[in-house]
Amino acid sequence: MFETEIQAKHVESAEEPLQDEVTADFFESMEAETAAFPRPNPIPVPIPRPWPLFQGSRFMIWKQDPTVTTLGRRLLYLPRRILNGPRDARINTVLPGTTPVNRSISGDFIFPPDTPEADCAHTFAVVRETLTLYERKGGGTAIPWAWNRNGNTDVLSVQPRGFNGANAYYSRNAKSLRFGYFRPRNSSQTVYTCRSLDIVAHETGHAILDGLKPGWLGYGNPPQTGGLHESFGDLTAIFLALSQLDQVEAVIALSRANLHNRNFLKRLAEQFGQSLGRSEGLRNADNDLKLSQVSNEVHAISKVFTGGIYDVLADIFNYERHRQRDTAGPARVLLEVSRQLSDLLLDALIQAPDTGATYADVVNRMLQISHANGEPAIYRTFIRNRFTYREVVVSPTPLTAMTQGQIDLDNPDFVEGEDLMELETAFPDHPSLVATQDRSGCCGTMQSPEYLQDQKVLDANLARLSKPGVVLDEESLLEDEMKHLAKSFK
């Protein structure tokens, strides 16, 4: 009915402003029609806001560390409830005389650099980001710390200035991460290891892997199991950097989208390395080392696995960059490829044996999970080739295409020979599979005496640690010896 009236009016007075009249007429007639109904008094309605409202805090973090000046510090937003400390349900910060660090009225933890408060904020934020990185893989399901069993919810205590020394470590017995500080020779500047994103991510990686695989930290495992722990720490630092959009952009620009070119990503713990006179950081993930080219020391062994995964990352990135060249920029591709590979690695580690896991165990799980996830066969070609080259597994076909640069990036099904899911271990008698662990070149975690105990003692201690609030002090390391002495001193 209204439409007919409007059309008629339009014909009658085409020169008059149509819209106003129609609107006025429309509401007049509506008022007449609805006058019989009572109306509530008008109340002011605020402009609708997005729902739900996320609680969150902002932190100032070092993107790499204070020596990587091209990156510096930046604001980081953590969309979760964070209390004074900083602390949340999983992580607490401890620095006597400084903590709890209070958040601002707007919920932020932003402090000038070179202050203890800034160190607390940075360290908490990086540990939290690292845990979140892997928890996202499981849709947000919490990854337990090693002692979080039988309902235990004890947090991980993070000590940004934990001790005076050029090291950092994860202590299961103390339920903590401790970061050292030191003054390098010929320098007036103190180096705080907690200011290195790589070092904080690396140590958090040890804590996360210990929660998933508590049987791997013990000294009684073969060197390769220790190598997986060290390598996971270094790879965690790389995956964390590549989970941050600005860092991904920076890597792409600095390396011209070739991960084998010079970039900060592959150089780990730059400031720490510099203090030791190493220009390439504490270690370099982009290496070509084979098992036969490294000593049997656990950290040396770990470089082989780290290098293999870094190569696979670069290979998959190249392939996906080529495939998506007209639809996505290289930064977006790298962000997604890194997430995909870190998810694959995490699943493979979880599915590997609970003790004595080897590189071949993890590589084979990666092949199987990649296939089950429906990833293209060329991904598995990269994995197989890179770990065959590293002397971890045996490829049933020669690596001709890889060594001669003939891998067909236009073919997602590219496989030389068969798409195998189970490869043989290259050297079953290799010392890294049978010898006792030498951890002398490792980080503080692997060198800590608390893991140099018999597996049965470690298991018993873990059962004690799963009681709420229980921590084991250094003295507990002497318990067995003291018992033995008590028997001798009759």
Which residue is at the shortest CB distance from Zn ion?
443
Region of 187-195, 425-433, 440-448, 454-462 interacting with Zn ion (CB under 5 A)? 440-448
Backbone angles phi, psi at 248, to 5 degrees: -60, -45
**316, 297, 301: which is closest to 366 by C-alpha?**
316
- Least distance to Zn ion, CB of residue 244, Å: 22
Region of 125-133, 320-328, 445-453, 457-465 interacting with Zn ion (CB under 5 A)? 445-453
- Least distance to Zn ion, CB of residue 168, Å: 8
- Least distance to Zn ion, CB of residue 340, Å: 25
- Least distance to Zn ion, CB of residue 450, Å: 14
Q: Peptide bond preceding 86: is omega within 30 degrees of 0, i.e. cis? A: yes
Type of residue at 235 = L
Q: Are 362 and 266 in contact, with CB atoms under 8 Å apart?
A: no
**Terminal CA-CA length for the chain:** 111
Question: Does the footprint of Zn ion cover residue 462 (CB under 5 A)?
Answer: no
**234 or 391, CB closer to Zn ion?**
234
**160 or 233, CB closer to Zn ion?**
233
**446 or 472, CB closer to Zn ion?**
446
Q: Which of residues 212-231 bind Zn ion (CB under 5 A)?
A: 230
Region of 15-23, 46-54, 207-215, 232-240 interacting with Zn ion (CB under 5 A)? 232-240
**268 or 337, CB closer to Zn ion?**
268
Q: Peptide bond preceding 42: is omega within 30 degrees of 0, i.e. cis? A: no
**229 or 380, CB closer to Zn ion?**
229
Among 174, 443, 458, 472, binds Zn ion (CB under 5 A): 443
Total residues in contact with Zn ion, by rule CB under 5 A: 4
Type of residue at 458 = L
Non-local (6+) Cβ contacts of 261 within 8 A are 254, 255
**62 or 170, CB closer to Zn ion?**
170
Q: CA-CA distances (angstroms) from residue 336 to 47, 264, 329, 454?
A: 36, 19, 11, 41
Region of 129-137, 442-450, 463-471, 478-486 interacting with Zn ion (CB under 5 A)? 442-450
Among 85, 160, 233, 281, binds Zn ion (CB under 5 A): 233
**193 or 385, CB closer to Zn ion?**
193
- Least distance to Zn ion, CB of residue 230, Å: 5
Backbone angles phi, psi at 71, to 5 degrees: -105, -45
Is the torsion defined by CA of 237, 240, 246, 251 positive or negative? positive
Region of 78-86, 154-162, 209-217, 443-451 interacting with Zn ion (CB under 5 A)? 443-451
Region of 59-67, 374-382, 396-404, 444-452 interacting with Zn ion (CB under 5 A)? 444-452
Q: By CB under 5 A, name the binding residues for Zn ion.
A: 230, 233, 443, 445
